[in-house]
Chain A
Amino acid sequence: MTSKLIQSATHMPPDSNQTVRKFSLGDITANTILVVLFVVIVVPFIWSAIASFQTPLDFVSGKGFLPSEWTLTNYEKVFTDIPMTRMIFNGLFIAGTASIGGVFASAIAAFCLAKVSFKGRALYLSIVILTMMIPPAVLLIPFYTIMYALSLIDTPWALILPHLTGSAFAIFFLRQHMLTIPHELHDAAIMDGCSIASIFFRIYLPLVKGPMSVLIIINFMLHWNDLLGPLIYLNSVEQMTPTAGLSFFRGQFATEYPVLLAGSLVCIVPTTIVFLLFNRQIRHGLLITGLK
């Protein structure tokens, strides 16, 4: 049974025998697992979405699953109590600039570290990877002091500039990808006398487009969802990002949970759209490999 599961699960060449067979035990097991995972992920979101349409009264006393009265009050509060529309634009600008710029810088560095041999390369890579191990709490105050000295506090640049230098994670990730790209391509390019810059832009950049889109998405989400950064580096309500702006609904003693829930769902919408837009590109990008 399990061998069937694996058989159907692993990448199989098209084969008439296999495609004709229907509903083997392995298929059923595999599909059941896929459906269970699907349900486990989807249900909490649906449940939260329903809860966000409850009146505050329903929320505290509600015992049933569905609200007794559907209301948009919570969503109205999200947009009227704080300048949410403005915050969404702030967030898009910060997350967009930081993620695209940062991943591009990382790709160039990753190429150097994967495909160009130079003295101290291994050391440089370890120095890069080591930064992933430093707890952010240690960096917070020195970083803030630098941003303050540069007069960037309360501007989006305090959140963008540090990321434009690339991230250790992205460099590591892209380097791993470039290592698996067969080297016949650049051997040929060297023969043709290309500079390493043109080798990167003409050969490697197109080949890592897929992983790069994945990273841009992931980094976009990271920046969009960052809570502490905006709260520390930004002061005015008008400069806030949506994720940080929602904290205005969290009191020391009393928190407006239904509003917070509605706000969290509002914050999820832009990332979902970005993800849907890029989804096709990620899939295509990931499917392209050096030899195809």
Chain B
Amino acid sequence: MKSKNKLIKNLSNISKTRRSFLRSTLAIGAGGTALSLFPGLAARAENVSGTIRYSNWIGGPGDIEMWENVIAAFEAAHPGTKIEYEPVAWTEYWTKLNTQFASRSAPDIIGFQMQSRTWGVEGRFEPLSEPFADLLDGIVDSQLKVTQAPINGGMEQYGLPFRMVGASLFGNISSMKAAGIDYPSEDWTIDDFVAAAKRLTNADQWGTAVTGGPVDLNQASTFGARPTTLDYSTATFNSPEYTEFIKWQHDLIYKHKVAPAPADLSTQKEPFSSGAVAMFPSASWMYPGYREIESFEWDILPDPIGSHEPKTYAGPDNLGITTDSKNKALAIAFLRFVFTRASQTIIASTGMPVVIDYLLDESRIAKEAASGPANYGYFVKGAVERGEGYAFAPPFFEILGHINDAYALIMNEESPDIDGILANANARIQQALDA
């Protein structure tokens, strides 16, 4: 409870920049239903009718069902409306979206990651600060920032996060027990981590694995390493900190021999659930898959501490209303519905909710922990208190591509030219940031 109150205080402080009258609607802790939390909703809901199109990419198993449930709930509460849901595979999502944008026929509501920084200003997204003013303070602030863009001297909200995803270190508890390793305390260090990995490595299993971005951000942060500066202006991929982190990872493979070269890991068989890797940096989007593991016990482990306190990779998946939309009233109504308790409950099953009181609700955390990971609370705390992500730089995909290319060149060779490869990749990341 203590940390929750502290958090809310922090959030209220941050949101002082917003128009002060909005703060009066902040009703966190009231524990009421969504309708009482956001009084505007009921009033607006009366007038909507017609049909809108809503398209999003498929994050993983469960996503399609999740949205079908949210839409069914919305349509039941708003007779005479229809939401046409158009799920698209990740690899083709942007192609399709761009084609539709170019012919001015984009769906009314679309999912996106960080594109609003440019698309909002270019006039592809409806501004949302005004119609969602009463909602904004109830949503995790760090996640809201991702979809804000500066315009006319102020900040405008061009999208809203509907869920958070984030990275953790996952542990095969059965293997750890067998190796006589206790569940680590929150102050264990990276040296403890390497020692544990050594004891977990045997003929059938690797102690850990080197993954590349973005889920290794937690580990990188304990070296004080980031691929770019916080304002995304400068590439720092070959900084002394990042170089040290990369060399540490390379040592895991070739010196300590506790991790496989990435090319020797299967690309189709997920390393953690297959039991091939005992301590694995992965992310919350794997929960639905990991919850089906029957052959061993698993949990989230605390992130080991290095020269710096670890951060938690956490980022939002967002929704925005396009300017191509022909039924904005219905689009707004549906988007508001996403932040009701009813929707957030459904969404929570495939990721974390973003409405603060529900996110930190202890009975919710207990419920998630019951289906695994047991230490779910540690992840929520990490994501909210020290969440960070370079996912929010506009050229995210390019940056990630350069990072993972460098990994492929470094981690699969016994003695690569680490400094040279990093310098090269850094120059390319800088180029992407400048463009």
A residues neighboring B (CB under 8 Å): 56-57, 59-61, 81, 140-141, 144-145, 148, 153, 227-228, 231-232, 235-237, 247-257
Contacts and interface: CB of A to CB of B under 8 A. Distances in A.
Contact of A248 (B64, B98, B270, B285): B64
Judged by DSSP, the binding face of A is helix
A81 B55 CA distance: 18
Given A251-B58, A251-B63, A57 B87 contact: no
B88 interface: yes
A253 B60 contact: yes
Given A145-B103, A232-B99, A60 B273 contact: yes
B87 A237 contact: yes
Contacts of A255: 268
A144 B96 CA distance: 10
Interface string B79-115: 0000010111111100110111011010000000000
A254 B61 contact: yes
A253 B283 contact: yes
B378 interface: no
Interface stretch (B32-40, B191-199, B288-296, B418-426): B288-296
B275 interface: yes
Interface string B260-288: 00000000111001110000000101101
B59 interface: yes
B53 interface: yes
Nearest to A145: B103
18 contacts: A60-B269, A60-B270, A60-B275, A61-B274, A140-B95, A144-B99, A144-B100, A148-B103, A231-B95, A236-B84, A247-B58, A247-B89, A248-B87, A250-B90, A250-B91, A251-B63, A252-B58, A255-B268
Given A251-B59, A251-B90, 18 more contacts: A56-B292, A141-B98, A141-B99, A148-B103, A148-B105, A228-B92, A235-B53, A235-B86, A247-B88, A247-B92, A248-B64, A248-B89, A249-B61, A252-B59, A253-B59, A253-B285, A253-B286, A255-B268
A254 B92 contact: no
B57 interface: yes
B43 to A, nearest CB: 32
Given A60-B269, A248-B58, A231 B92 contact: yes
Most buried by A among B53, B102, B286: B102
Interface residues of B, number: 39
B285 A254 contact: yes
A50 to B, nearest CB: 15
A197 B269 CA distance: 60
Contact of B102 (A141, A231, A249, A257): A141
A56, A60, A237, A256: most-surrounded residue (chain B CB, <10 A): A60
Contacts of A144: 99-100, 102-103
Contacts of A253: 59-60, 283, 285-286
Contacts of A57: 292, 294-295
B195 to A, nearest CB: 27
B60 A252 contact: yes
A232 B105 CA distance: 12
A237 B87 CA distance: 8
Nearest to B283: A253
B136 to A, nearest CB: 27
Contacts of B295: 57, 61
A258 to B, nearest CB: 9
Given A57-B294, A250-B91, A140 B61 contact: no
Contacts of B292: 56-57
Given A231-B92, A235-B84, A257 B59 contact: no
Contacts of A249: 61
A177 to B, nearest CB: 36
Nearest to B270: A60
A256 B103 contact: no
Interface in B104-157: 105
Counting from the closest, the 5 A-B pairs by CB-CB distance are A247-B89, A251-B60, A252-B90, A254-B60, A60-B274
A251 B270 CA distance: 13
Contact of A231 (B96, B105, B275, B289): B96
A232 B95 contact: yes
Residue among B53, B57, B89, B270 with max Cβ neighbours from chain A (10 Å) = B89
B289 A254 contact: yes
A248 B268 CA distance: 17
Nearest to A235: B86
A210 to B, nearest CB: 37
Contacts of A232: 92, 95-96, 99
Instruction: Indicate the member of A153, A235, A255 with the most B CB atoms within 10 Å.
Output: A235
Given A56-B292, A60-B274, A251 B61 contact: yes
Interface string B328-351: 000000000000000000000000
Contacts of A56: 292
Nearest to B274: A60
Contacts of A153: 105
A210 B324 CA distance: 49
B242 to A, nearest CB: 24
Contacts of B105: 148, 153
Contacts of B91: 247, 250
Contacts of A257: 268
Contacts of B273: 60
A237 B95 CA distance: 18
A237 B89 CA distance: 12
A231 B89 CA distance: 9
